[in-house]
């Protein structure tokens, strides 16, 4: 699993071949010809998209781990708290749900693909798959097991079904033995999947 | 075929039985990001030229087999195009002319 902003087709300049690729070019060029958008607008929007990835969410999580006051405001009013960190999340409502020894949270969008993209970037394909969307709300524990996450029966599993207007982000539990780490070192431990809730944050002292 | 309005729509799949989750992901191609960028721009400009709800409505009203067969951003560009036509931003005539032009442009570029 990897995420990066370039890929084979872009870098090798492979020409479009499918109907929908031609359609994208056609619509884009027509809108530009009509003066609705400019080429630069589109390039900037793509650049902005590429600048957003899970490291932003990880930054938020690490701050919440080291700063109890920030954590409190994050759980109460995530958009304002995140804004105070200098991150822009747009007009969409965001709710941060906290994992504790008693509760494990998982996010899904059963109807489509809603995702906290301002803090995690674009969602992975499996998040948008029929299998994940169907099963996450029905049998979350077996879904979690498929991601290698074994949640004890004593722990409540809460599944949050996102909508176009309300997105969720999981605040994972801070792993044991990380008391000596700096905020940046903590952020480096926090991976995308732990903020979706399919995994937990791991730390092994070397 | 009659559209069955007494059962849930095919996009509404929460809670249904389904197989194992394949942990797949891919680096989004530039054309896919362009589609995403188009939606972001069209829905955020003032006045907006389409809405996110329109995007969803277009995707959700795809016939089930098309919905399953098309990739994620294929559904998006389909729905965006449809919304722009509906909203009077693009006409079918200019679109078909443009599509032909673009297709022949890339055909002639091939060696």
For residues A152 and A106, membership in a common domain is answered with yes
Give, for A161, the enclosing helix (H) or strand (E): strand A156-161
Whether residue A2 is predicted with pLDDT greater than 50 in this model: the reply is no
Chain A partners within 8 Å of B52 (Cβ): 164
Range with lowest mean pLDDT among A1-15, A27-41, A50-64, B20-34: A1-15
Instruction: Please tell me the distance from the alpha carbon of residue A198 to that of residue A54, in angstroms, as a whole number.
Output: 14
pTM: 0.90
Q: Per the domain annotation, does A147 fall within a domain?
A: yes
The whole-number pLDDT of residue A3 equals: 40
For residues A16 and A95, membership in a common domain is answered with no
For residues A142 and A65, membership in a common domain is answered with yes
Instruction: Please tell me the distance from the alpha carbon of residue A33 to that of residue A29, in angstroms, as a whole number.
Output: 6
Is-contact A10 B29, C-beta < 8 A? Answer: yes
Q: Per the domain annotation, does A1 fall within a domain?
A: no
For residues A66 and A104, membership in a common domain is answered with yes
Strand partners of residue A98: A171
Residue environment code for A148-159, b if the CB has 16+ CB neighbours within 10 A, otherwise e: ebebeeeeebeb
Mutation site, A23, A88, A127, A141, interface B, largest B CB count within 10 A = A23
- Who among A27, A37, A134 is closest to B18 (CB)? A134
Chain A partners within 8 Å of B103 (Cβ): 22
Domain that includes residue A104, residue range: 54-196
Number of domains forming the structure of chain A: 2
Catalytic residue IDs of A: 109, 112-114
For residues A123 and A159, membership in a common domain is answered with yes
Q: Per the domain annotation, does A150 fall within a domain?
A: yes
Whether residue A140 is predicted with pLDDT greater than 90 in this model: the reply is yes
Cα of B18 to nearest chain A Cα, Å: 5
Instruction: Please tell me the distance from the alpha carbon of residue A160 to that of residue A106, in angstroms, as a whole number.
Output: 6
**In which region does residue A6 sit, left (phi positive, over 0), alpha (psi from -120 to 50) or beta (all else)?**
beta
Q: Cβ neighbours of residue A150 under 8 Å, at least 6 residues apart?
A: A144
Whether residue A64 is predicted with pLDDT greater than 70 in this model: the reply is yes
Percent of chain B's residues with pLDDT above 70: 94
- Who among B29, B68, B106 is closest to A7 (CB)? B29
Instruction: Please tell me the distance from the alpha carbon of residue A122 to that of residue B70, in angstroms, as a whole number.
Output: 18
Range with lowest mean pLDDT among A26-30, A84-88, A187-191: A84-88
- Who among A22, A111, A131 is closest to B20 (CB)? A131
Give, for B95, the enclosing helix (H) or strand (E): helix B92-109
Across chain A, mean pLDDT equals 93
Is-contact A141 A157, C-beta < 8 A? Answer: yes
User: Over the stretch A90-109, which tens digit does the pLDDT of each residue have?
Assistant: 778 999 999 999 999 999 99
Q: What ipTM was estimated for this complex?
A: 0.93
Q: Per the domain annotation, does A3 fall within a domain?
A: no
The full set of domains in chain B, from first to last, is: 30-109 (1.10.472.20)
The whole-number pLDDT of residue A89 equals: 85
| CATH code of the domain containing A109 | 3.90.330.10
Is-contact A148 A175, C-beta < 8 A? Answer: no
For residues A91 and A182, membership in a common domain is answered with yes
CB–CB contact B29 A124 (8 Å): no
∠ Cα B16 B17 B22 (to 5°): 110
Q: Per-residue pLDDT averaged across B4-23, rounded?
A: 90
Residue with tokens 């890929």: A7
Chain A partners within 8 Å of B80 (Cβ): 27
Q: Is omega for the bond preceding B17 within 30 degrees of 0, making it cis?
A: no
Mutation site, B20, B30, B32, interface A, largest A CB count within 10 A = B30
- Who among A10, A22, A161 is closest to B14 (CB)? A161
Token pair recorded at residue A103: 């509760």
Chain B partners within 8 Å of A108 (Cβ): 14
């Amino acid at each position: 699993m990897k995420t990066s902003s370039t890929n084979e087709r872009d870098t090798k300049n492979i020409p479009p071949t499918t109907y929908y690729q031609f359609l994208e070019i056609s619509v884009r060029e027509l809108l530009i010809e009509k003066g609705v958008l400019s080429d630069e607008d589109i390039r900037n929007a793509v650049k902005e998209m590429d600048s957003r990835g899970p490291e932003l969410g990880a930054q938020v999580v690490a701050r919440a781990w080291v700063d109890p006051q920030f954590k409190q405001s994050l759980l109460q009013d995530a958009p304002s708290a995140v804004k105070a960190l200098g991150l822009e999340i747009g007009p969409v409502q965001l709710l941060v749900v906290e994992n504790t020894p008693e509760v494990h949270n998982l996010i899904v969008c059963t109807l489509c693909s809603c995702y906290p993209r301002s803090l995690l970037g674009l969602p992975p394909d499996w998040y948008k798959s029929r299998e994940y969307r169907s099963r996450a709300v029905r049998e979350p524990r077996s879904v979690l097991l498929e991601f290698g996450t074994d949640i004890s029966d004593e722990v409540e599993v809460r599944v949050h079904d996102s909508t176009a207007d309300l997105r969720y982000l999981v605040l994972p539990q801070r792993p044991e033995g990380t008391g000596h780490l700096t905020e940046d070192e903590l952020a480096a431990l926090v991976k995308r999947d732990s903020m979706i809730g399919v995994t937990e944050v791991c730390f092994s002292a070397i | 075929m009659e559209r069955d309005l007494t059962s849930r729509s095919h996009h509404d799949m929460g809670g249904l039985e389904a197989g194992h989750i394949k942990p797949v992901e891919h680096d989004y191609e530039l054309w896919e990001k362009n589609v995403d960028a188009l939606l972001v721009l069209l829905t955020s400009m003032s006045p907006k030229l389409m809405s996110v709800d329109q995007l969803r409505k277009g995707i959700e009203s795809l016939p089930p087999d098309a919905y399953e067969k098309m990739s994620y951003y294929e559904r998006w560009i389909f729905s965006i195009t449809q919304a722009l036509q509906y909203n009077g931003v693009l006409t079918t005539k200019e679109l078909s002319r443009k599509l032909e032009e673009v297709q022949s442009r890339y055909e002639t570029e091939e060696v």
